[in-house]
Structure 1
Amino acid sequence: MAYDLEEQEQIATFKAFWARFGNLIIWVLIIALGSYAAYNFWNSHKRTQTVEASALYDELQNALIANDNAKAQRIAGDIQKKYDGTAYAQMSALAAAKTAFEANDLKTAKAQLQWVVDNGNDEYKAIARLRLAGVLLDEKSYDAALKLLNEKFPAQFSAEVSDRKGDVLVAQNKIAEARQAYVAALAAMSKENPGRQLVQVKLEAIGGTVPADEADKADKNAAAA
């Protein structure tokens, strides 16, 4: 009898608890299960997007090998439109810009690079800005190129930015400033950087000299080789 009374009290307590918190528990479970389902769906969607974008990117590479600029632009446009959330969209825009530039289609090259500047992550944006500045240099749009290069870049691109600034300043016949830019590029480069020698050649071509510490590094590298 005592057992029955205890059991009845437990049932009564549970009923009271459920009456008070039952709806809340149900909604919490619904939200948790819904969130879990949405998370799984999103991950599956992202994987599907990545696989599909990868297949299109392979087609783009084939178009690049065939020097088919028109086809490359179409495929890159499809990737950017349908799979803009994947890294392949940024990669395709950079690749399409390169083939457009080689086809002397500077307008399209600039548009593709600008897409990356507007939509890419920090690293891809930096690469696109550097290449876009190069296109502007070829177009003799020197002020626009320098304006682009004066924007904020990740620290690891400081050498490339200074090098490209030097190229633009040389084209503007601002030789003293160009020397400073090339010296800054050398200072920012590691001794293993394969671009060091080219920057040094450009610096010396405009009457500049490699700073003593940089010259010492160059001599040591030459001796080691």
Structure 2
Amino acid sequence: MSDSYRTEEEQVEALKAWWRENGKSTLVAIALAVMGVFGWQGWQKQQQADQSTASAIYQNLLTAANGDNGQATLAQIATANHLADTLKADYTGTTYAHFAALYKAKFAVDDNDLNAAAAELQWVLDNGAIDEVRIQARLRLAKVLLAEGQMDEAMKLTVGENKGYSAAFSEVKGDILAAQGDSVGALSVYQQARDIAATGEGGQSLLINLKIQQLENAQQSDENQTGNDESAANDSAKKGDV
């Protein structure tokens, strides 16, 4: 208390007056602080519990998806799809849910349902997946859109952060150009993809080399055909002169 109070009685009375004016707000502040601490601890425990439950569901999903000896039955795929739906609905913000959607996209592709696969991959992109998972989803979605004939939309997905998957994205870009009839552009991009893959930046070097060889053979065949046509035209012209 302040030194201006000359007696203990005055100090006590001043304390009582202060408490009447400020006591309730002080208790509320203390209560809120305590609630904040316990609320944060409770939230952390709930998050840990959610992660643990989501992890268990995802493990069951993997077991069903892998099936017996790596070959899942229709019933096991149905179970895996159901578990994936549960993760997406109840644990949306977790990486387990995002991987579950990737599995659903795979099942859809296996079932030749490209629209459903595209929807699952777009869901991953729209629901806060970590960067690496987003990159995988973009890559797979580009392939699905290419298969659906949506060349422009597929090409847009090849632009952006591709860390660790640069060769794979370049390969898809080459596939799109090849599908559009630009064999020269496709060959150039495939060669870039091959060079990137050699550094370990993702991509299947053997498959890329095969695509390069096919385009080079096709171009060589075209050049040979052009040469034959020109030779035939020259021979015809000479005969005409005679």
Quickly name the TM-score band, shorter chain normalised: 0.7 to 0.9
* 1:61-76 paired onto structure 2 within 5 Å: 61-66=62-67, 67=72, 68-76=76-84
1:78 matched to which residue of 2?
Answer: 86
1:206 matched to which residue of 2?
Answer: 215
Higher mean Cα deviation, 193-202 or 28-37?
193-202
Distance (whole Å) between structure 1 residues aligned to residue 155 and residue 92 of structure 2: 29
Higher mean Cα deviation, 132-141 or 41-50?
132-141
Distance (whole Å) between structure 1 residues aligned to residue 162 and residue 25 of structure 2: 48
2:231 matched to which residue of 1?
Answer: none
Give a deviation string over 1:186-222, Cα, whole Å, max 9, x none.
56557234636344553454339xxxxxxxxxxxxxx
User: Once the two structures are aligned, what percentage of the paired residues are identical?
Assistant: 35
Distance 1:207 1:9, change over 3 A: farther
* 1:87-98 paired onto structure 2 within 5 Å: 87-98=95-106
Q: CA RMSD in A?
A: 2.7
Unaligned runs of 5+ in 1: 209-225
* TM superposition score normalised by structure 1: 0.75
* 1:1-225 paired onto structure 2 within 5 Å: 6-66=7-67, 67=72, 68-121=76-129, 122-150=131-159, 152-153=160-161, 155-185=163-193, 191-193=199-201, 195=203, 197-198=205-206, 199-207=208-216
Letter in 2 for 1:206: L
8 Å contact kept, 1:60–1:75: yes
Distance (whole Å) between structure 1 residues aligned to residue 123 and residue 195 of structure 2: 31
SS at match of 2:149: coil
Distance (whole Å) between structure 1 residues aligned to residue 94 and residue 199 of structure 2: 34
Distance (whole Å) between structure 2 residues aligned to residue 117 and residue 190 of structure 1: 29
Higher mean Cα deviation, 94-103 or 84-93?
94-103
Higher mean Cα deviation, 22-31 or 5-14?
5-14
8 Å contact kept, 2:121–2:138: yes
Distance (whole Å) between structure 2 residues aligned to residue 41 and residue 178 of structure 1: 56
Give a deviation string over 1:132-173, Cα, whole Å, max 9, x none.
1112222333223113333x4354444432222112112222
Which structure is larger by alpha-carbon Rg, 1 or 2? 2
Unaligned runs of 5+ in 2: 1-5, 218-242
Letter in 2 for 1:124: V
Give a deviation string over 1:100-139, Cα, whole Å, max 9, x none.
3223333332222121121132332221111011122223
* TM superposition score normalised by structure 2: 0.71
Distance 1:190 1:110, change over 3 A: same
Distance (whole Å) between structure 1 residues aligned to residue 25 and residue 172 of structure 2: 62
- How many residues are aligned here? 203
